[in-house]
Amino acid sequence: MIASVNGRVAAVSPDGAVVEVGGVGLAVQCTPGTIARLTVGEQARLATSLVVREDSLTLYGFADDDERQLFELLQTANGVGPRLAQAVLAIHPPREVRRAVSMADVKALMQVPGIGKKGAERLILELRDRLGATTTDTQLDGPPLPGGAAPFTPVAPWRDQLTSALVGLGWSSREADTALAALAPVADEQQAATGRVDVAALLRQALQLLGRS
């Protein structure tokens, strides 16, 4: 198992990155939040999980070991494969996933593309005892949320994530700002319709927009 990679970021794409380790470029699939933290030419460490299939070897990368462990734990639930597990972490940071499962927050889990009401209920049923309490996160991030409180905001706002990803892909800050201005109405529509912003979809649209300009 490849537990982590540490090396120079050779390339960044909407779905992942290439990290050079010992002269070998490793393709790593990442969430938009992780991609936003990477910059081409700079050193980076990613916790990783290797998924082996009969016809493929896919390396998934994460911002830290906790995120990787949760990725692997999610796949122990019936019907959850690596792509869906990664989609969960693309929408919610680890603490929010644990909160949603422990508090049976079906609506929060349904924000993930590919998870319906029955799927969310199954995740809660199967993972509640495996995930455990969120005491570690509470100690790190402050006092526990009061009953019924809304989930905290994800790690980075969509604007920051999208700007970092575009700059990491080689676009200038000015070009990134132009794309953000054009896509702001789309983000607002997504927020109003689903309660979340699909950063990965916005990144793809931004690349198409900048590629035409």
* Tens of pLDDT, residues 8-21: 999 988 789 999 99
Contacts 24+ apart (CB under 8 A), 45-49: 45/4, 45/5, 45/6, 46/4, 46/5, 46/6, 46/17, 46/19, 47/3, 47/4, 48/2, 48/3, 48/4, 48/5, 49/1, 49/82
Higher pLDDT, 15 or 4: 4
Domains of the chain, CATH where assigned: 4-62 (2.40.50.140), 65-132 (1.10.150.20), 158-211 (1.10.8)
Which pLDDT does position 122 carry in this prediction?
A: 93
Residue 189 has pLDDT above 80, yes or no: yes
Q: Pull the structure tokens for residue 35.
A: 């991609």
Could you give the CA distance from residue 162 to residue 206 in angstroms, rounded to a whole number?
9
Which pLDDT does position 155 carry in this prediction?
A: 37
Whether residue 101 contacts residue 129, with contact meaning beta carbons closer than 8 Å, is answered with no
Could you give the CA distance from residue 144 to residue 3 in angstroms, rounded to a whole number?
31
Q: What is the mean pLDDT of residues 133-157?
A: 41
H helix or E strand, kind and range, residue 69: helix 65-74
Q: What is the mean pLDDT of residues 188-199?
A: 82
DSSP 8-state assignment for residue 53: E
